Amino acid sequence: MEYAAAKSTMCRQCGSHFAPSAPKQEVRLRPREERVEASTASTDVSLRHKLEGLWGKHHNSEIECFECKAKHEVSSAAASSFCPKCSTHVDLRNYKITTSFSRSIKTQGEVHVTPKGDLSSTNVTCRAALIEGKMRGNMNCVGTVTINFVGKIPGRVTGEHVLVERKSDVHFFRRVRVKSIEIRGRMTGEIIAEGTVVIHRNALLDGNVTAKSISVEKGGIFMGQLIIGTSGLEQAELLPETSASPAVAATSDKDEVAPGAVPHPLPAT
């Protein structure tokens, strides 16, 4: 092997000098028709790749207006939209909380509270949320709230679905009102669920539960009072007749009693 621009070189075996001459590659031109077809094919492929890339990045999704509950489609690349029914402005941005944040949020996007974030807004409404830091305000989520946090949450959490991750150890000071909740880690607090409460293996729930149904996997722990049923249950179906009337009379805080639940539930057996 020798440098391509070398004018002369020496043989490594016998020591004689000679001029290296590298053979040139033969250039063969294709017919014009083949070149045109190849160029058209490459153009079609590149255009198809561009369109596929744009479609993969920007697709339509269905959102619901917070005011009139009307649904319409928007592009994933849009930052805001207007409801076609009531003309209300709809925010579509995602919020990532990395420091102290106290402004109200009302968006059809996602809210992410990072481990160093501190969300103290009095009112947060979003499509989905991930809580990894402090949250002292109230949050209403139309989708899933994922909790991956160790500590106390003074704010009120309501949503379609709540997921407490495996490494979480969270204490809710206020009632958690959801349609369904899934606990993989440790949770302390009171739950009011319209649907199912699921406690996975090695998970722990310490608190009162009012729900339509509950599922505790083998190895899961539940400690607290339990009321299972629907909102149509009457007082006499839940408590003995001797204690039904006084319990209703003693209740004065309507905000702290779930619909269809009794103020003094019976312990789980």
Residue 102 and residue 93 in contact, taking contact as beta carbons nearer than 8 Å: no
d(CA 50, CA 53): 5
- C-alpha pair distances (Å), 168 with each of 97, 142, 183, 185, 222: 19, 22, 9, 5, 16
Please state the length of the chain. 269
Cβ-based neighbour number of residue 229 at 10 Å:
15
Among the listed residues 246, 239, 240, the one whose alpha carbon sits nearest the alpha carbon of residue 261: 239
Look up residue 269 and give its two tokens. 């057996």
pLDDT in tens, 167-203: 999 999 999 999 999 999 999 999 999 999 999 999 9
Question: What pLDDT score does 195 carry?
Answer: 92
Helices (H), the chain: 32-57, 235-238, 241-249
Q: Residues 121, 97: contact at Cβ < 8 Å?
A: no
Whose CA is closest to 113, among 121, 77, 158?
121
CB-neighbour burial class of residue 219 (10 A; exposed 0-12, middle 13-18, buried 19+): exposed
Rounded Cα gap, residues 103 and 205, in angstroms: 32
pLDDT surpassing 90 at residue 214: yes
The structure's pTM equals 0.61
Indicate the average pLDDT of the chain.
Answer: 77
pLDDT tens digit string along 108-140?
889 999 999 999 888 899 999 999 999 988 999
Q: 35: helix, coil or strand?
A: helix
pLDDT in tens, 45-64: 566 665 555 545 556 777 77
| φ/ψ of residue 90, rounded to 5 | -120, 120
